Amino acid sequence: MAAAKSIERLAQRRVAPAEPTPVGPLRLSWLDRYPTQMALIESLHVFKPDLDRDIDAAASPAKTIETALARALVHYYPLAGRLVLSDAGAQQEVDCSNAGVWFTEAAAACSLEDVDYLEAPLMIPKDELLPPTPAQEDERELVLLVQVTSFACGGFVVGFRFSHAVADGPGAAQFMNAIGELARGTESVSVVPQWGREAIPDPSCALIGSLPEPAGAKRLEYLAIDISADYIDHFKSQYNAAHAGVGGWCSAFEVLIAKAWQSRTRAAGFEPDSPVHLCFAMNARPMLHASLPRGGAGFYGNCYYIMRVSAPAGKVAGSSVTEVVKLIKDGKRRMPTDFGRWAAGEMGAGGVDPYQITSDYRTLLVSDWTRLGFAEVDYGWGPPAHVVPLTNLDYIATCILVRPWAHKPGARLITQCVTPDRVAAFHEGMLDMS
């Protein structure tokens, strides 16, 4: 069976914009150049077969997406370039040289059902489903690589490796949706992309962090948890009842992250007085509406701020979910003020760098993928059944909220936040609805 589930790569080609595009360097913003952005973000997008559609080799997923990719790059031509140092040697920029996006076409002899639609644990190694780096390329310079793997059932998987230096989550999803529009036969993209990096603040006092070192860090265990709509509604009702008339509304994200933070804190067994931290990225486009081109519509560069909520472990573990939700909501309300202070350079050299990622076990980094736009991408075969975020850093405590299977209410938590010996306790805590 192992051999039947292997992937055969049929071809790898460079895809250039379908029409002539501008050439030359483009400046990256301060946030684009932040060291933690200098990585290729990896994800798998699983598309079930469309049984009502005739399988036509001339219009196969790989050929359709490759053709649409070339057309999309006319509008997003920086993605066909390479990351380079500027002439001054300090700031990175994008060289719009039309070097092209590496596109890999692959095939699997098995069906998606045979590999459980790539549910965890993966029955196919992720590296077989992700596009490889060609030997002649420097991976640090690449902006985008794509692989489309067709399965015997007619379904397919799109593997993306996307440079975080050029696009944040909403920006990457915007580009993928543009490919989808063109693949479905539209004449042009509905959202005109904007580079506009000069609008991103470059505070003189901003601290530049670095990637966290794995030395001494704990190895954390992967766990995916499906959450029902009833579960979410249960905790939302509790919050609404406790705050009727004043702030009596909370989101699914707030509920699930509060429950995850609380369950993790309990499972990890931190000392009650030990501070624990919750960090989450918030879209900063509304804060820069006046300075971004077209009010931010079409901007696909990095434009987010990482909010940090801290409390003693005993308070997080001993409070109700409703009380933990309030801690998170209070943190989110600080976002305009905190971002404004940072943008104005008012955080002194002794301040905490909001963008610094840490391997400190007391810190949980959470992310909401449900509203980025990945779940709506349609190349002509319908939206993905599910999206699989991937990570190569198993020593940073993370929790990612993603859409559940298509047409299934609820949510899914992709977690890697506790050590292997604490996974069972964390899972039990998440299942407890008290």
For 266-285, how does the pLDDT look when each residue is reduced to its tens digit (9 = 90+)? 999 999 999 999 999 999 99
Asked if the model's pLDDT at residue 289 lies above 50, the reply is yes
Taking the C-alpha atoms of residue 292 and residue 294, their distance in angstroms, rounded to an integer, is: 6
Same-domain check for residues 91 and 39: yes
Asked, for residue 274, whether it belongs to a domain, the answer is yes
- The one catalytic residue in 233, 378, 394, 427 is 378
What is the predicted pLDDT for the residue at 307? 93
Read off the DSSP letter of residue 184. Answer: T
Answer with the one of 193, 212, 245 that is the final residue of a domain. Answer: 193
Answer with the one of 174, 193, 212 that is the final residue of a domain. Answer: 193
What is the predicted pLDDT for the residue at 349? 42
Asked if the model's pLDDT at residue 426 lies above 60, the reply is yes
3-state secondary structure of 103: strand
What does the block give as tokens for 248?
A: 């009596």
What is the predicted pLDDT for the residue at 164? 94
Same-domain check for residues 312 and 406: yes
For 349-367, how does the pLDDT look when each residue is reduced to its tens digit (9 = 90+)? 456 788 888 889 999 999 9
Asked, for residue 210, whether it belongs to a domain, the answer is no
Taking the C-alpha atoms of residue 73 and residue 94, their distance in angstroms, rounded to an integer, is: 14
Q: How confident is the model at residue 295 (pLDDT cuts 50, 70, 90)?
A: confident
What is the predicted pLDDT for the residue at 211? 64
Same-domain check for residues 156 and 230: no
What does the block give as tokens for 162?
A: 């996307």
Strands 7-15 and 24-27: unpaired
What is the predicted pLDDT for the residue at 3? 44
Taking the C-alpha atoms of residue 162 and residue 141, their distance in angstroms, rounded to an integer, is: 11
Catalytic status, residue 164: yes
Cβ(198)–Cβ(301) below 8 Å: no
Same-domain check for residues 131 and 227: no
| DSSP assignment string, 218-285 | PP-EEEEEEE-HHHHHHHHHHHHHHTTTSS----HHHHHHHHHHHHHHHHHT--TTSEEEEEEEEE-G
Taking the C-alpha atoms of residue 411 and residue 405, their distance in angstroms, rounded to an integer, is: 9
Asked if the model's pLDDT at residue 72 lies above 60, the reply is yes
Asked, for residue 327, whether it belongs to a domain, the answer is yes
The mean per-residue pLDDT over the stretch 404-409 comes to 76
Asked, for residue 209, whether it belongs to a domain, the answer is no
Taking the C-alpha atoms of residue 82 and residue 100, their distance in angstroms, rounded to an integer, is: 9
The mean per-residue pLDDT over the stretch 254-272 comes to 97
What is the predicted pLDDT for the residue at 391? 75
For 83-100, letters b (16+ CB in 10 Å) and e give: beeeeeeeebbbbbebbb
Same-domain check for residues 157 and 260: no
| DSSP assignment string, 3-27 | GGG-EEEEEEEEE--SS----EEEE
Same-domain check for residues 174 and 242: no
Cβ(44)–Cβ(129) below 8 Å: yes
Same-domain check for residues 271 and 321: yes
Q: How confident is the model at residue 56 (pLDDT cuts 50, 70, 90)?
A: low
Handedness of CA 187, 293, 282, 33 (dihedral sign): positive
pLDDT top residue among 406 and 184? 184
Taking the C-alpha atoms of residue 153 and residue 352, their distance in angstroms, rounded to an integer, is: 51
What is the predicted pLDDT for the residue at 111? 95
Asked, for residue 214, whether it belongs to a domain, the answer is no
pLDDT top residue among 410 and 129? 129
The mean per-residue pLDDT over the stretch 313-331 comes to 96
Asked, for residue 211, whether it belongs to a domain, the answer is no
Same-domain check for residues 187 and 225: no
Asked, for residue 31, whether it belongs to a domain, the answer is yes
Strands 40-47 and 144-150: unpaired
Nearest to 280 by CA among 250, 296, 260: 260
Asked if the model's pLDDT at residue 33 lies above 60, the reply is yes
What is the predicted pLDDT for the residue at 88? 61
The mean per-residue pLDDT over the stretch 13-35 comes to 94
Instruction: Determine if residue 257 is left, alpha or beta; phi over 0 gives left, psi from -120 to 50 gives alpha, anything else beta.
Output: alpha
Same-domain check for residues 15 and 129: yes
Asked if the model's pLDDT at residue 322 lies above 50, the reply is yes
Residue 304 to residues 200, 201, 403, 427: CA-CA distances in angstroms?
10, 11, 21, 30
For 132-170, how does the pLDDT look when each residue is reduced to its tens digit (9 = 90+)? 999 999 999 999 999 999 999 999 999 999 999 999 999
What is the predicted pLDDT for the residue at 345? 80
Asked, for residue 261, whether it belongs to a domain, the answer is yes
Asked if the model's pLDDT at residue 347 lies above 90, the reply is no
List the CATH number of the domain containing 392. Answer: 3.30.559.10
| Number of domains making up the chain | 2
Burial of 315 (0-12, 13-18, 19+ CB in 10 A): middle
For 164-218, how does the pLDDT look when each residue is reduced to its tens digit (9 = 90+)? 999 999 999 999 999 999 999 999 999 999 999 999 998 866 656 666 666 667 8
What does the block give as tokens for 22?
A: 């501008």
Cβ neighbours of residue 271 closer than 8 Å, sequence gap 6 or more:
313
The mean per-residue pLDDT over the stretch 65-83 comes to 98
Nearest to 42 by CA among 187, 175, 144, 153: 144
What is the predicted pLDDT for the residue at 120? 81
The mean per-residue pLDDT over the stretch 402-423 comes to 89
Mean pLDDT across the chain, nearest whole number? 90
Handedness of CA 214, 399, 46, 375 (dihedral sign): negative
User: First vs last Cα of the chain: how many Å apart?
Assistant: 43
Asked if the model's pLDDT at residue 2 lies above 50, the reply is no
pLDDT top residue among 159 and 50? 159
What is the predicted pLDDT for the residue at 92? 85
Nearest to 221 by CA among 422, 425, 399, 420: 420
Taking the C-alpha atoms of residue 167 and residue 335, their distance in angstroms, rounded to an integer, is: 21
Same-domain check for residues 120 and 252: no
For 82-132, how does the pLDDT look when each residue is reduced to its tens digit (9 = 90+)? 999 766 655 689 999 999 999 999 999 999 999 999 988 889 999 999 999
For the ranges 111-120, 188-197, 251-260, 385-394, the lowest mean pLDDT is seen at: 385-394
Same-domain check for residues 173 and 241: no
Catalytic status, residue 52: no
The mean per-residue pLDDT over the stretch 17-23 comes to 97
What is the predicted pLDDT for the residue at 54? 59
List the domain range (segments joined by +) for residue 344. Answer: 221-431
- The one catalytic residue in 164, 277, 338, 386 is 164
Q: How confident is the model at residue 317 (pLDDT cuts 50, 70, 90)?
A: very high
The mean per-residue pLDDT over the stretch 336-348 comes to 82
3-state secondary structure of 39: coil
Same-domain check for residues 91 and 178: yes
Looking at 314-403, which runs of residues are DSSP E strands?
A: 363-368, 386-389, 398-402
For 281-291, letters b (16+ CB in 10 Å) and e give: bbbbbebbeee
Asked if the model's pLDDT at residue 240 lies above 70, the reply is yes
What is the predicted pLDDT for the residue at 248? 73
Answer with the one of 141, 174, 193 that is the final residue of a domain. Answer: 193
